[in-house]
Chains A and B, each alone.
Chain A
Amino acid sequence: MDVFSHLATGFSVAFLPLNLLLVLLGCFIGTLIGSLPGIGPINGVAILLPLAYALGLPPESALILLAGVYYGAEYGGRISSILLNVPGDAGAIMTTLDGYPLSRKGEGGRALALSAISSFAGSMGALLMMVICAPILSQFAVQFGPSEYVWLMVFAFTCLATMVGSRPAKTIIGVLIGLVLATIGIDSGSGVLRFTMGIPNFFDGVDFLVVVIGMFAISEIFVLLESWARNDLGVRPLGKSFVTVADLLAVKWVVFRSTVMGFLIGVLPGTGASIASAVAYGTEKRFAEGKNEHFGEGDIRGLAAPEASNNASAVGAMVPMLTLGIPGSGTTAILLGALMMFNITPGPLLFEQRPDIAWGLIASMFVGNIALLVMNLPMIGLFVRLLSIRQAYLVPVIAMLTFVGIYSIHGDSFDLFFMVLLGVVGFLLRKLHFSLAPVILGLVLGEVLEVNLRRALSISGGDWSVLLDGPITYVMAIATVVAIVAPSLMRSIKMRKLLAKANEVED
């Protein structure tokens, strides 16, 4: 088989001592960076890029190092999500929803182990898919036009609707706040500045990470301060729990579905880990309905889904980058820039002209993911011990890290003020019993939805029928309708069955 001989070439590159060292180093740095609130894969890769260049590494080694940081960060992001309710990066927001409740119950070890294994499975599954069908997939990514994106976002919003829970009005308001934030900046359709208040920092829109860290991390600090003022900073149970075989068997299909979804969403240019994890979480919640479901209160399925999905999407994002020279996410855009710095043009010819780079990278990702799992599992005990640090020490450290992290994005103190302001808003929203995840998802999904809806309409000249054009749009439209109608339909069928049974008994 062709694939195997290519992979063999790849492994011969990946197993060079220098590259082996770099992949381990990259994964380790990535885990660390991912676990620090505020510094995500984008910053990690961006920070290391000049270093890799200055060290004079050969291009394939530099790429192996940077890619290691990228997917390592997707692993690390979950740690602070689960333990502290502070997402380490944007892709780990959904992980807080069920991960944090688990750690509050003293099952932090179980949550960390399960999420590490889900992440591993997600990455490996995605890698296999990438090796087998990268060329077809890059074609699929290109076929995905504005109308298809619109449906994907509508579908994602319907999945969101499952998060409505007991407070539908508050969820909707949360999403609307996110949508409003998404409209800030230069409107690409008309070139008009929207809601920027004349502040140049808003021209490119609101930085997604600033919102995430402000709303989650800073507001969490306020919550901790409040409980300190009230003197009820309880000691959190540590527990020595670990993942069981029964847990793994319970989530095997969840992980499988989330991996496929995450990978495909990652392949699409313009959608990344945050959207992938949101769609996976929402879909799995739908699947779990009526099956002893307690999503949001520490359901292991709600933890496995986003973790498998965000790791799979990181791998997926590499597909269009390597095969077409088109970045699949913000981080791969930087990786692409890195390749250009080494005078390598990624694109259709990369696999033919520089197979050592393309296949070397892919092979190193197999090595890196195994290394990450091996590195992460024994360290879980250490991570959980984080919780035994007195809050009086922990809170200032979190605060410091978030400030440094956000400052490192733009090097502008404006972001710090804006982040604190958002933190106050986030704190107030939490006091009013709003959930913050819908705000963030409104921001991410809203932007992609608006941009693509307007692209679709400017292609058609304002004709809405463009939205139902081509097989992909039909499939996605049907999926959306099913996602909306199915749960209530299922419920009424169940009710009818119950009624029928009741009638039988009466007879």
Chain B
Amino acid sequence: MKFKLRILALAAGLATAMHAAAFEPSKPECVAPAKPGGGFDLTCRIVSNGFKSADLLNTPMAVTFMPGGVGAVAYNYINSNRRDDGDALVAFSSGSLLNIAQGKFGKKLDENAARWVGAAGVDYGAVIVRADAPWNTLAELVAAVKADPTKYVLGAGGGVGSQDWMKAAILMKSSGVDPKMMRYVPYEGGGEATAALMGNHIQIYPGDVGEMVGQMDAGKLKMLAVMAPERLEGEFADIPTAKEQGFDAEWTILRGFYLGPDVSDDAYNYWAGQFDKAYENEAFLQTVHEKGLIPFKMSGEKFDRYVKDRVGYMRDLAKESGLIK
């Protein structure tokens, strides 16, 4: 009898143990929906390197590439081929969300076609002008633009409807200028836009804080405001937010990961748990910093709701600025 009990107890123990480790990825993979070296590649490196240095992976994580339409190709691919694959994290950015909000990822593929699982980190928009520009505060800049919206040209690294354009539109809106009045020039990537600003082809560049690391020291450009909810730490601590200068212009560039829409709760919770552990780990946070991002600690259901709210907000913005009817 005793013997039987023991076996039972053992069996029960095994069962609970097995339940606790119900999911363990056999071949963890991070899908970067871009070519190697791009922003999504860096996002994937945050989990593949960061999780490794935080000892959160038993098997090394592979990074695979699937470029196309700021994540559109990957979104469609996951939704048609790997709906329930719990091994594959896919990187996304708020640029992808903006396209989802505008229905550009496909007619039936909205924000509910994925399980948003965890954030890699965030970056913020920044208002950048040439170092020899006549303005030193956002208010001075806005006053000049207000006086004649056609005189100064805004330019950034994305086309109309991209998040770079959205930053420009929000900036205009917050200062009471009709976004449709602004002169906006799309460039291919932040590098080209920075070159255009240096060459004075554009005068205002609503760029990102992260890409300006090191550029400020060179003394050719100056940053009038960060489009963050509050002041940043470190190199950019001296730069006031748009909000504290009286303009309601905020743009958070979110980078994170989703899983396929039919991935099991076990797998989803496993990854959410891994992110929670990573957010407490110094080595992981160091990796986030190295990739030019600011840690943003949110995962699981809360993150899923947050992403869906963002998409809703973006959809309203897109409607307001006439991008979708």
Contact = CB atoms under 8 A, between A and B. Distances in A.
A162 interface: no
B72 A49 contact: no
A459 interface: yes
Interface string B230-245: 0000000000000000
Interface in A303-333: 320, 324-327, 333
A337 B102 CA distance: 29
Contacts of A336: 37, 191
B217 interface: yes
A352 to B, nearest CB: 9
A495 interface: no
A489 B188 CA distance: 40
Nearest to A339: B37
Given A49-B36, A146-B201, A204-B68, A347 B159 contact: no
Given A189-B159, A269-B191, A338 B37 contact: yes
Contact of A204 (B64, B69, B186, B202): B69
Contacts of A324: 194-195, 198
A340 interface: yes
B201 A326 contact: no
B35 A269 contact: no
A168 to B, nearest CB: 33
Contact of A142 (B37, B66, B102, B199): B199
Nearest to B159: A188
Interface string B25-53: 00000000001111001100100000000
A186 B195 contact: no
A191 B185 contact: no
Contacts of A143: 199
A226 interface: no
Given A142-B199, A333-B189, A340 B292 contact: yes
Name, among A46, A186, A200, the residue most crowded by chain B CB atoms within 10 Å (CB to CB). Answer: A200
A200 B99 CA distance: 12
A188 B214 contact: no
A143 B158 CA distance: 21
A270 B192 contact: yes
B69 A200 contact: yes
B47 to A, nearest CB: 15
B297 interface: no
Interface stretch (B2-10, B160-168, B258-266, B304-312): B160-168
Interface string B55-80: 00000000111111110110111000
A145 B77 CA distance: 38
Given A188-B160, A412-B73, A458 B184 contact: yes
A348 B214 CA distance: 9
A327 B191 contact: yes
B195 A410 contact: no
A325 B64 contact: no
Contacts of A193: 104
A400 interface: no
A46 B191 CA distance: 19
Given A191-B162, A412-B68, A349 B37 contact: no
B215 interface: yes
A58 interface: no
B104 A337 contact: no
Contacts of A348: 215, 218, 220
Interface string A34-69: 000000001000110110000000000000000000
B76 A200 contact: yes
Contacts of A144: 199
A410 B64 CA distance: 10
Q: Which 3 A-B pairs have the closest CB atoms?
A: A191-B161, A188-B159, A337-B37
7 contacts: A143-B199, A186-B104, A188-B160, A334-B37, A411-B65, A451-B188, A459-B201
